[in-house]
Amino acid sequence: MRASFLQSYGAPLDVVQVGEQPDPVVGPDSVLVRVRAAGVNPVDWKIVAGYLQGAMPHHLPMVPGWDVAGVVEAVGPAVTTVEVGDRVLAYDREDHVQHGTFAELTAVPERAVATIPDGVDFTTAGALPLAGLTALQLLDALEVGAADTVLVHAAAGGVGGFATQLARLRGATVVGTASEGNHDLLRERGVTPVLYGDGLVERVREVAPEGVDAVVDLIGGDALAATPQLLATGGRVASIIDADVVHDLGGTYVFVRGIASQLQSLVDLVASGDLVVDVSRTFDLEQAAEALEANRDGHTRGKIVVTNG
């Protein structure tokens, strides 16, 4: 199969190439997917750079990518939930890093696979898994409900865009940090925007004088450190950035898991029009290095997607 891969770690444009790699092995409980779209996430370029080697086993040569949408090409003998020809999506993170989704084919554990409803295209579906599941699991960890005021950091980004929408669907009041150029988008979605950076606490307190009930942290650093000044009495925080810091604050660290039932609920919301997937740019498989580099630049609204066919 043709795939984007690396044989050493470094900047995407320096180490990521496209060429032939062995076809995936289809295990008894795995699903072989012909990839049509794969979302690009910050974790992908961090893996390419070698930053996550201490978090899980890595093996070279490596195909990056954890998001996938495509068509079932084959199934293992124990698979019962999908069949050849089904349109599917998945968050394909396994226990080691090697066989990713920036390729023509990928093998996915059945436990991570959901089906794509009619009316949802592959590019949209491919942008959803990691970011959508992360947002959902953060809100679940915080037990966000209709009585809450929720602050979402980086509210116009991939995860933040989903977190704001999902919190609104739960009836919560949502405040979101973003650059000024994204404030109109947030207002259109019923989110009160605030500018991040110096003066953050004062700006949040202007719109939530008693503090917020929950903080969804997607950026860490000073924003996470400011959490005690942002929370109302009894407030809570969840972060995907710094486990030690959020634990010291009495909060929850979330490392996203591929749960098919949750992913199915998200893509069904997309099909019903209740959840919007913002795709800012697409790159074909031959441009995977450029897609990773664009994500690394960090100035993208919504999601970047690598497409194939």
Instruction: Note the pLDDT tens digit of each residue in 119-170.
Output: 999 999 999 999 999 999 999 999 999 999 999 999 999 999 999 999 999 9
Q: Which pLDDT tens digit goes with each residue over 259-298?
A: 999 999 999 999 999 999 999 999 999 999 999 999 998 7
By C-alpha distance, which of 285, 298, 279, 302 is closest to 123? Answer: 279
The reported pLDDT for the residue numbered 301 is 77
Read off the pTM.
0.96
Q: Which pLDDT tens digit goes with each residue over 15-36?
A: 999 999 999 999 999 999 999 9
CA neighbours within 13 Å on the CB side: how many for 248?
8
How many residues in total does the chain contain? 309
Q: CA 263, 264, 265, 269: dihedral to nearest 10 degrees? A: 100
Asked if residue 150 lies in contact with residue 174, where contact means CB atoms within 8 angstroms, the answer is: yes
267 dihedral zone (left: phi>0; alpha: psi -120 to 50; beta)? alpha
Q: How confident is the model at residue 309 (pLDDT cuts 50, 70, 90)?
A: confident
| 238 token code pair | 């969840």
Q: Which CATH superfamily is domain 2-128+277-307 in?
A: Medium-chain alcohol dehydrogenases, catalytic domain (3.90.180.10)
DSSP 219: S
Q: What is the largest CA-CA distance in the chain?
A: 59
Which residue spans of the chain are classified as CATH 3.90.180.10? 2-128+277-307, 131-253
Q: Which CATH superfamily is domain 131-253 in?
A: Medium-chain alcohol dehydrogenases, catalytic domain (3.90.180.10)
Bridge partners (DSSP) of residue 192 are: 175
